[in-house]
Amino acid sequence: MAIRDEFPRLAAAEFDEVVTHSHVRDVQLASGRTLALITLDNGRDHTRPSTLGPATLFELGDTLEAQRARGAAGEVDAIAVTGKPYFLAAGADLSNVGSLPDRETAAELPRLGHRVLGLLHEAPVPTFVFINGLALGGGLEIGLNADYRTISSAAPAVALPETFLGLVPGWGGATILPNLIGIERALKVIIENPLKQRVLKPADALELGIADAMFGPASFLESSLRWADGVLGGAKVDRPHVPGTLERTVKWPIALKIARETLEKRIGKVALAPYRALDVIELARKNDRAAGFAAEDAALADLIPGDQFVASIYAFDLVQKRAKRPAGAPDAALAKPVTKVGIIGAGLMASQFALLFLRRLQVPVVITDLDQGRVDAAVARIRAEIDALAGKGRITTDEQQRLSALISGTVDKADFAGCDWVIEAVFEELGVKQQVFAEIEPHLSETAVIATNTSSLSVEQIGARLAHPERLVGFHFFNPVAVMPLIEVVRTPATDDATLATAMRVAKDLKKNAVITRDTPGFVVNRVLAKLLGEAMHAVEQGSSFEDVVEAQRAFGFPMDPFVLLDLVGLKVGAHVLDTHHGAFPDRFFESKALHELAEQGILLEKDGKGEVKGIDKRARRIVAKHRPAGAVALSADDLRVRIEDGLADEIKRMLDDHVVEAAEDIDLCMILGAGWPFQMGGITPYLDRVGASERVFGGTFHQPPIAGPKA
């Protein structure tokens, strides 16, 4: 019976799949042995990685069956799989998974993967996978199912990213990997790295024991064939990380317990996939492939048609596609060249800006402030950061010297004359920003772009004193500057297309994702967060417990509760943001006198000696209680959750009606990249649709159909 006949639902389903074909040729090894080499190739150029959809797997399965038969007949001595140039495979083809017609069809996909890739295990002849390029998810699992693996030192990435996307490694990864490299290493690859959006380099894969040998790209295939010939001739393959009895009985349970506790602390319990992966890894301790694969099948059968996976794919598409083609961006050809950057201010934020512009743009950067000592200290701080990067091996000595030479400081505004791009990093006060721009503008050419990093002030008002307000743009970074991937690019009514195009080009050159917003209070991220944090403070001031407020927002899946987030952004900053929004929208945003007093006292959270949060400080509880009005009514956690959800749905609908951004997708992109809104929630608007808040507030949904798994 053909493999496709074993999976009738998948075989009958209609997919828009780019099929990765399995091309076979026999290779005569130096020893005289014959190796059947299967090359995976989707026939597209290097911009389209090979992926593994149902049709691809059916063809690969038939090909492997044929080569196994040849091995049993003595026609070939080994079977190997490799990929087209630059790619082994980028994993399962997820483009159609969200549209699987029903749960039964979804349940066939993991079983098909196990059926096909499992043909590499216990074949009548040894099996090899030559990882010649990118190997993600199912691509890496092809290798794990084989007997031996080599890897090219030029492969850009190796990873099992499934838990980040709401899945588990389900074609053997969660079962085989722990038994190959040990529990702690496997937890890093399967759980820790995906949640931190990290991948392995080839040297990492070799050191961890995922690959048995590594060769350079110029002769990778030839070297891999020669190495395979040696293995077939009896050469020993050392695998020091394969777990022994002691690890399985003692270390395995302890490592899993720590992993669960760490997950709960870091991401809460809303995300399902990481915990399902831990369940499979726990079962893998018995090294029973049949039981482990059955557990992987069961996990994926539940997760693939679930809301979180469908939402994750939506979020993934936003980051991979929409972020690269920003809505409302003018013609990129209008962008002006940026050959020198000026930064107004010499504080920590200005230093972060300078280092980022230096590293990404590789152009001269000059900073200014009122005091020469402050400027000199900032330049020294930036150069120390450059030296630290060199010390860690992240930049070369030549680059270290070049970047250090590109940074300079001055108190003479005339030194900004050659700057094409000037950005301020001064106090968040309208008058201060207006003044520094008024002082700088006379020294600039008429083509220079002026950018403000304001997080809440009106960009238009900041430019009110400029002679050329058309060259002013908002360029709102998120902290820490080097890490956070989002920039909100704010267009005022006066901003011209050339200025906006330049801002978008600069954001791209800084390797950031840019979303264009209208000039409104809080733009996108801070307006949504102001709603969340404002509702949290209002609730405790009305008598709800801090614990109930935390519980009310737990369903959102944020990695931290609202009060930890408030402490992180800073109590004074939080109070200022709430004041700004209350001033702009007094009927929807609350002022918080309690928060102002907390900010003055510098009190909110109780922490231990290591800085770990233990809870709300008792003094903070007393301050909040003091501001509680007579007759205040506390809401339950469930009532609070509904109130917050409805408030968010209302505010976001208003933002869209007011054209703050072009679409709900842009709101979601901002919240994912700028606020850490979890991937498995799919952004904020799909979540509000799924919980019914959109319907309750405006009688519709942000997305049609809603971003959710099939209900049947």
Q: 41: which strand partners? A: 21
Could you give phi then psi for residue 52, rounded to 5 degrees?
-120, 90
Question: Is the predicted pLDDT of residue 258 greater than 70, yes or no?
Answer: yes
- 187-203 confidence digits (pLDDT tens): 999 999 998 889 999 99
CB 134 within 8 A of CB 157: yes
Q: What is the mean pLDDT of the chain?
A: 94
> Tokens for 479?
């902290």
More confident residue, 484 or 1: 484
pLDDT score at 709 = 80
Alpha helices in 585-675 (DSSP H): 593-601, 618-626, 637-657, 664-675
CB 202 within 8 A of CB 214: yes
Smallest CA-to-CA distance from 509 within 404, 326, 358, 402 is with 358
User: Residue 248: which residues within 8 A CB-CB, separation 6 or more?
Assistant: 285, 287
Could you give phi then psi for residue 22, rounded to 5 degrees?
-110, 100
pLDDT score at 267 = 86
Q: Among positive and negative, which fits the CA dihedral 378, 384, 388, 393? A: positive
Per-residue confidence band for 132, with pLDDT thresholds at 50, 70 and 90: very high
* Cα-Cα end-to-end distance for the chain: 31
CA distance 696 to 681: 19
pLDDT score at 479 = 85
Across 455-566, the runs of DSSP E, i.e. the strands, are: 472-476, 486-491, 513-518
Question: Is the predicted pLDDT of residue 33 greater than 80, yes or no?
Answer: yes
- Residue 675's SS3 state is helix
Per-residue confidence band for 99, with pLDDT thresholds at 50, 70 and 90: low
Per-residue confidence band for 37, with pLDDT thresholds at 50, 70 and 90: very high
pLDDT score at 678 = 86
pLDDT over 70, % of the chain: 99
Per-residue confidence band for 98, with pLDDT thresholds at 50, 70 and 90: low
> Tokens for 405?
């030479």
Q: What's the pTM? A: 0.89
- Measure CA 477 to chain center: 17
- 373-430 confidence digits (pLDDT tens): 999 999 999 999 999 999 999 999 999 999 999 999 999 999 999 999 999 999 889 9
- 118-130 confidence digits (pLDDT tens): 999 989 999 999 9
Question: Is the predicted pLDDT of residue 102 greater than 80, yes or no?
Answer: no
The length of the chain, given as a count of residues: 712
pLDDT score at 712 = 46
Per-residue confidence band for 711, with pLDDT thresholds at 50, 70 and 90: low
Cβ atoms within 10 Å of 85's Cβ, excluding its own: 10
Q: Between the CA of residue 407 and those of 324, 366, 481, 704, what are the distances in Å? A: 30, 6, 18, 50
- Residue 133's SS3 state is coil
Q: Between the CA of residue 367 and those of 353, 374, 387, 565, what are the distances in Å? A: 10, 10, 19, 31
CA distance 365 to 422: 10
Question: Is the predicted pLDDT of residue 143 greater than 60, yes or no?
Answer: yes
- 59-85 confidence digits (pLDDT tens): 999 999 999 999 999 999 999 999 999
- 503-540 confidence digits (pLDDT tens): 999 999 999 999 999 999 999 999 999 999 999 999 99
- 624-645 confidence digits (pLDDT tens): 999 998 888 899 999 999 999 9
Per-residue confidence band for 93, with pLDDT thresholds at 50, 70 and 90: confident
